[in-house]
Amino acid sequence: MISATEFLQREADITSDILRTRNIGIIAHIDAGKTTTTERLLFYTGKIYRIGEVDEGTAVMDWMDQERERGITITAAATTCIWKGYRINIIDTPGHVDFTAEVERSLRVLDGAIGIFCAVSGVQPQSETVWRQSERYRIPRLVYINKMDRIGADFFRAVQSVERKLDRRLVLVNLPIGSGSDFQGIIDLVEQQAILFPSEDETQAKKIPIPTSLSSLANEYRTQLIEKLADVDDQVMIKYLEGEAISVTELKQALRKGTLSGKFFPVFCGASLRNKGTLQLLDAIVDYLPSPVDRGRVSGLNPQTGQADERLPSEDEPVSLLVFKVQNDVHLGRLLYCRIYSGLLRPGVLINWSRGKRERIIKILQLHANRYQLCQEARAGDIVGVVGPKSTYTGDTLADTKHPIVFERMAFPEPVVAVSVEPRTRAEQEKVNWALARLADEDPTIHLRVDPETGQTILYGMGELHIEISIEKLRREHNLNLKVGKPQVAYRETVSVSGKGEGRFIREYDGKAQYGHVILQVEPLATPESKFEFVNHCPPEKIPEVFVPSIEEGIREAMEVGPLAGYPVINIKVAIVDGSCDQSSSTDVAYKIAATMAFREACRQAKPVLLEPIMKIELTVPAEFLGDVLSDFNARGGRIQQLESVGSSKVITGLISLRETFGYATTLRSLTQGRGSYTMEFLRYNLVPQAEAARLLHQG
């Protein structure tokens, strides 16, 4: 590691190009206007020459056929545009909870984000989820209250919703002039001017003094703005206390300082569909969101020494990059989306230090949704596509051959829905297996398992929509005629008490003795979020350290098939407590098999139980249908957490078992004459009720 003095000196030498780079994501709940806003950003920066519309299926960023047909974003799309001399790399992310992995891996490599919230609905379940995801990576964000032109739009209610539900301090930079059909413009509290939109061409906007009727309101909120800026900037505080005028430049500097530090989040407003407010957003991206240099050094581990290491966002550093997405392109083959954290990337050889594999970069591509432009090189701060690596996957680190480093990997949620997938004819089996492997290669939340009893391939996904779109992708891209089973809940198993098991494997293969003996203790985890903990309490004279990894491997394999009904085991702690070895015949294979035997016996003694996914659900229904919807929800075993009014609708927030939600969309439409809707996301695993567990085990 370098010293602080060396770091500061090298940081000062970083070129100005990277200081004028912004890597941002657009995050929000489904239908909040992410893709619509992104299309405007691209149009006004000259990246595209015609604004595409989501509802018409013409949006550039929604390039997949299924995205255009359904009017939703399914896969994160990356692009680059230029605004006032700044290079802005944008990733437009999905808003549906089933595709939350796309958001997770995008946020992992971004420096800033714009959180978009509907002016009518405020904070919705998935907008809360993606906000929490961005919190995990400590990403500075702007808040954009969109759809100010909608009936029922209320800017201040939406702002209060963000402050209350997300528990974050906001700073209002904009105020709307009117709302709904009367939305006419924006008050810029920093510049102290009004921006009126006489037409749907935002470049024709007129900047005028703030109308007298709104001056009192504007002065009140500008004072609040300055007071909050004074908390983070001494210069602003001194001038404010002494009653001196504060320049626009000083206000912007203080806003940037507070945004980058996470002390607050600037709030803007507009109506992207009507081309109102997006130019303000472009300026805000440049003025307030961080460059890679602002984000600073990137930490990792040296895989050869196990010591902490880091890279500066500079071309002068050794090259290092993180792969955050894999896509199998029809023409290019295997395309890897990468964030370059340091150095200069050119075609050539790198090492995948996550796996110890030598990889060759053949092509470097600038990304624009599903279109690509060949580049000779890319530098620190860039987000690009590369073609060539064969053994590199999502979350892997590629770096210089002489300077090893591995960056932090991404964590993805467990899939909760499963279907069986098999070909119509035996002749297509190999083709189906190959296509499924490619699908799992692209999507880390797709899990595949072969049922040991039936031989069927089980495909696990994040929800019904995720499964449906994945199957449709297999059919369209690979021309497969598949038999697909009905969606099933992805149950899990765990233990309820402590249990001990012994595994002893003594056999002879090919004339060579094999000996493995291990005693394991299992117990439920105090913190279920950990899913699995493994410890070794056995002294090395009984089981040498060299065999411990094989024992852990055997345990992990045994966890794939639980003792009750064959579901994977989670939320469990396993300890090696005793065992023995034979100096002449102990082998890795023998200990692996012995560990599997011991684990199964320990689990049987530890009173195994079934777990089921519990979903957080939000229903939006017209007030006149509330009684029928609540009655049905309660009959399904749902638990209501909150009931509130939003305009003429009622919003129900609650918890429900996933097994009760299959086909619920049809029921809700029937109960509300097609006017009700719902969104849900996985929350946690709970014990299956005794009666339901007995039914499941009887079926098994």
Least confident of 58-67, 282-291, 421-430, 475-484: 58-67
Contact between residue 275 and residue 183 where contact means Cβ atoms under 8 Å apart: no
342, 390, 396, 657 from 292: Cα distances, Å: 10, 28, 20, 42
Condensed to tens digits (0 to 9), the pLDDT of residues 436-476 reads 988 888 888 888 888 766 677 888 888 888 888 888 888 88
Give the per-residue pLDDT at 327: 87
The answer on pLDDT for 478 being more than 90 is no
Torsion on CA atoms 178, 179, 184, 187, rounded to nearest 10: 60
Q: Taking residues 80-89, report their average pLDDT.
A: 91
3-state secondary structure string across 109-128? CCCEEEEEEECCCECCHHHH
Contact between residue 581 and residue 515 where contact means Cβ atoms under 8 Å apart: yes
Contact between residue 144 and residue 239 where contact means Cβ atoms under 8 Å apart: no
Measure the CA–CA gap between 452 and 430, rounded to whole angstroms. 18
pLDDT tier at 95 (50, 70, 90 boundaries)? low
The answer on pLDDT for 118 being more than 70 is yes
The answer on pLDDT for 14 being more than 50 is no
Cα Rg of the chain, angstroms? 28
The answer on pLDDT for 479 being more than 70 is yes
Give the per-residue pLDDT at 4: 43
Give the per-residue pLDDT at 453: 64
Chain-wide mean pLDDT for the chain?
A: 87
Q: Taking residues 228-253, report their average pLDDT.
A: 91
Condensed to tens digits (0 to 9), the pLDDT of residues 29-75 reads 878 888 889 888 988 988 877 665 555 555 555 555 665 566 666 67
The answer on pLDDT for 342 being more than 90 is yes
Measure the CA–CA gap between 384 and 248, rounded to whole angstroms. 36
Give the per-residue pLDDT at 1: 37
Q: Which helix (H) or strand (E) holds 621?
A: strand 608-622
pLDDT tier at 429 (50, 70, 90 boundaries)? confident
pLDDT tier at 220 (50, 70, 90 boundaries)? very high
| DSSP one-letter code for 561 | S
Give the per-residue pLDDT at 263: 93
The answer on pLDDT for 11 being more than 70 is no
The pair of structure tokens assigned to 520 is: 């394991």
Give the per-residue pLDDT at 52: 58
For 586, list phi and psi in degrees, rounded to 5: -70, 135
CB atoms within 10 A of CB 500: 17
Contact between residue 638 and residue 655 where contact means Cβ atoms under 8 Å apart: yes
pLDDT tier at 359 (50, 70, 90 boundaries)? very high
| Strand arrangement, sheet containing 185-188 | 174-177, 185-188, 193-196, 206-208
Least confident of 74-88, 398-412, 575-589: 74-88
The proportion of the chain whose per-residue pLDDT surpasses 90, expressed as a percent, equals 50
Q: Taking residues 620-638, report their average pLDDT.
A: 90
